[in-house]
Structures are given as structure tokens and as C-alpha cells.
Structure 1
Amino acid sequence: MSMRHRRPHTALIVAALCLVTTLTGCSDSGGGTPSSSTPPASASAPASASPSSPSSSESGKGEVKVTIKDFAFHPATFEVSPGTKITVTNEDSATHTLTADDQSFDTGNLAQGKSATITAPSKPGSYSYICSIHPNMKGTLTVR
């Protein structure tokens, strides 16, 4: 085979390898920042009216569980009675807090795997909260 006939084959092979490399780089490897899609259900997910929705409403008379995972509160929005105990568990590798904007409740720093229990305010109303370390993490607690 002459050199002239090998060059088109070589160019075709190089082009195919570039295409495969590009497509592999664009595939979802599961890493990176969280997307807006619904996270997969987990056996350790908190009990709520709709476990797959992080902004579900949960009526609490006893104890409510909030999980911090993927830099988000699950559920992010929930409803409780005055004085309800709220257990917050951090399942992220980063330290987080659950802190009311008005400072009426605060878990303090929660390292990975740690939990804290706070008490819902006795005054009915809507209480916005954040992670004081990562203020883009937000939620709302409604006391009725």
C-alpha cells in the first residue's frame, strides 16, 4: 500500500478518536455540581409527605427530620406546630448549619454525619432559614 492511501485512513482514525474523546467528556459521570433534576431516592431520606421533593410540606406534631445533602435542605420547606422538635442531620462532606434569618433557631456547625435537634418557635409564622456557611442554601419553616 502506498503512502498516499495510508494518510486518509490515518486522518479518519484520528477524527474518530477525537469524536470518541469529545463524547466521553460530555457524558454524565455523576460528579460536579448538583443539577436541578430530582436527586435519587435514598433509604436514609427523611420521612415526609413527598420524599422525592426537597420543598415538600410536612405537618409535624412530634418530631420532624431535615437532612442536609448535596448542599440543600431536604425538605427545604415544611410546616410544624409550635414547639415541634426538628432533628437536622448533615449527610454532606462539608460542614453546614440550619440558622433562622432572625436567629430564633440555629443548629450551630454540623460536621459530616452529625445531627442537632432544635425546637420550632412558639410563635406562629413563616421563618426563613439558611446555612450560615453557604448562604445560597435556603429554606422556610412555617409554624401554625
Structure 2
Amino acid sequence: MPFPFPTGAARLAAAACALALTALVGCSDGGGGGGGGATESATRSSASGGTQVTIKDFTFEPASLTVSPGAKVTVVNKDSTTHTLTASKGGSFDTGDIAPSKSATFTAPSTAGDFPYACTIHPFMKGTLTVQ
């Protein structure tokens, strides 16, 4: 016996429910709440109490970051290709290659100052770590 297709008001109600469900699923970030959109700062406390930089869309988020001397900085690659976060001079920090969906952690220099950095694979990606 075939399933009867709703007509009139029942059909409209079924369509409205389907549309509402689609909108709710489309708005979910799947991360258990808390938002996390692109406008949210990419600097967050990590589980170890350090600071986080996210690589996404071939940019460092945030590009300028201020930390305490010796702070742990976790770099999360949310891009589709491998990246690095490497001090531009002095070799004071270097994550090495970070594959897509992976992360690496480095220790900020123990001396105060500004430390420019870049991705050695994509040199147009730049940022500054300020230690104070």
C-alpha cells in the first residue's frame, strides 16, 4: 500500500518543519556550543593554559599576539595544506611542518621583544609575536 502524500495544510506544515530542521542543522558548528566563527579571536587558552594561534585560509589568526616570556603557544592548522610558524630572525622558535588538522607547540622566547614570524612554505603568511 503506497504512503499517502499530504495535501493542503498538512503539506505546508511538513514543508515548514523540513525547512526549519534544515536551517537548524546548517547553523550548527558541531563543536558543542560556544560559537567559534571567523570573527571570534583565534587567541584562546588551550588545555595546558597556553595561547593558541590558528592557521586558516592561509593566514595566522591572530597575526599579532602578545605573550609572557616562556609562554607555551599552540599552533593549530585548520587549512588544507602543510604550514609552519617560524621566527623570521634568530631562530628563536619554529614549529616545523604542521600537517592539515594537526597542531604543534613551541615556547616563546624568554626575553622581551617583537619577534616577526612567517610560514616558511608560504612566505606571504606573516605575523608578530610580542613578548612582554
Q: TM-score, normalised by structure 1?
A: 0.59
CA distance in 1, matches of 2:43, 2:77: 20
Aligned pair partner of 1:73 in 60, 68, 71: 60
Rate the CA distance shift 1:67–1:43 in 2: closer, same or farther, 3 A. Answer: farther
Tell me if the contact between 1:70 and 1:92 (Cα under 8 Å) persists in the aligned partners. Answer: yes
Q: Percent identity?
A: 57
1:91 paired to 2:78: yes
2:64 partner letter? T
**Structure 1 runs not aligned, ≥5 long:** 1-41, 45-50
More RCO (CA 8 Å, sep 6+): 2
Say if 2:82 and 2:99, in contact at 8 Å, map to a contact too. Answer: yes
CA deviation profile, 1:82-112 (whole Å, cap 9, x unmatched): 0100000101011000000121100000110
Report the counterpart of residue 101 of structure 1 in structure 2: 88
Structure 2 stretches of 5 or more lacking a match? 1-28, 32-37
Q: Which protein is bigger by CA-based radius of gyration?
A: 1
Q: Equivalent of 1:125, from 113, 122, 125? A: 113
**RMSD of the TM alignment (CA)?**
2.4
| Alpha-carbon displacement from aligned partner over 1:39-76 (angstroms, at most 9, x marks no partner) | xxx787xxxxxx7277x888xxx400000000000011
The total of aligned residue pairs comes to 94
Output the CA distance in 2 between the equivalents of 1:43 and 1:77: 28
How do residues 49-64 of structure 1 correspond to structure 2 at under 5 angstroms?
A: 52=39, 62-64=49-51
Distance 1:130 1:53, change over 3 A: farther
Query: Which runs of 4 or more aligned residues in structure 1 lie more than 3 Å from their structure 2 counterparts after TM superposition?
Result: none
- Structure 2 distance, partners of 1:43, 1:142, is 33
